[in-house]
Amino acid sequence: MNSALNTTTPLCLLFDCDGTLVDSEILLAEVMGDILPEFGLPFSARQYMDEFRGVRFQTIVQTLEKRFQALAEDAFPQLEAGMRARMEARMRAELVTIPGMTAALEELSSHPKAVVSNGPERKIRCALESTELGHHFADRLFSAYTLNVWKPDPELYRKAAAAMGYAPQACVVIDDAAVGVEAGLAAGMHVIHLNHFPNEEVTPKGAIGIHHASELPTAIARLNA
């Protein structure tokens, strides 16, 4: 949706986590680029960034299995546990916020907010703790692993909106990845695409494209006018 609401009630802001609030995507890409080949699945960090950003880990593995070879029987739980452990260690040591996001969140303090992510809740909490963003969201965290629905399925954003007490048209999705933008549009919500790669990615019709988090408060103010 791209029409503004005629209301003075602050819109509900539904933030993606990885790549939107925190600069974790390159860390995840590197972790996957290390561990997937150890299990016989050729993969590179560049491949994650180009093809799989924001996609559910199990879906990535299943796609690679179709291209190359199936994992050994019962290997997936070991692979996923190893990936999660390595990722958490790197997040706690290296994770930073997306440039400009801390100031944007402060400026948007009057809006109700939640995090809606394809990642597990433990990973969301780790990200918010590591970057000290948790106070903006408290326990308003919606994980695909908890709700058992993953972007690009719009039901993940719809369930988050319902839990927050807002109709879809009163919500704004802020997401950097194609799967999240697609989910938000399909859910009937306003969508702001934080496009980190404007020379490579096109913001879909119906979404608002911005290139830096500092643009976020102005974009939301226009929607809330």
Question: Which residues are registered as beta bridge partners of 115?
Answer: 15, 141
Position 191 confidence tier, pLDDT thresholds 50, 70, 90: very high
Peptide bond just before 152 cis, omega within 30 deg: yes
> Beta 171-175 vs 190-194: how paired, if at all?
parallel
pTM of the entire predicted model: 0.89
In this prediction, residue 7 has a pLDDT band, given cuts at 50, 70 and 90, of: very low
Instruction: State in Å, rounded, how far the first CA of the chain is from the last one.
Output: 15
Mind giving me the DSSP string for the chain? --PPP--SSPPEEEE--BTTTB--HHHHHHHHHHHHHHTT----HHHIIIIITT--HHHHHHHHHHHS-PPPTT-HHHHHHHHHHHHHHHHHHH--BPTTHHHHHHHTTTS-EEEEESS-HHHHHHHHHHHT-GGGTTT-EEEHHHHT--TTSTHHHHHHHHHHT--GGGEEEEESSHHHHHHHHHTT-EEEEE-S-TTT--PPTTSEEESSGGGHHHHHHHHT-
Mean pLDDT computed over 77-101: 97
Residue 225's pLDDT band (cuts 50, 70, 90): confident
Query: At residue 6, does pLDDT exceed 70?
Result: no
CA–CA distance, 76 with 158 (Å, rounded to integer): 30
pLDDT of residue 8: 66
The mean pLDDT value for 111-129 works out to 97
> How many Å apart are CA 167 and CA 189, to the nearest integer?
9
pLDDT value, residue 187: 98
CA 202 to chain CA mean position, Å: 17
Bridge partner residues of 210 (DSSP): 194
Rg of the chain over CA atoms, in angstroms? Answer: 17
Give the pLDDT confidence of 141-183 residue by residue, as tens digits.
Answer: 999 999 999 999 999 999 999 999 999 999 999 999 999 999 9
- In this structure, what token pair is assigned to residue 220? 């939301």
In 10 A of CB 68, how many CB atoms? 13
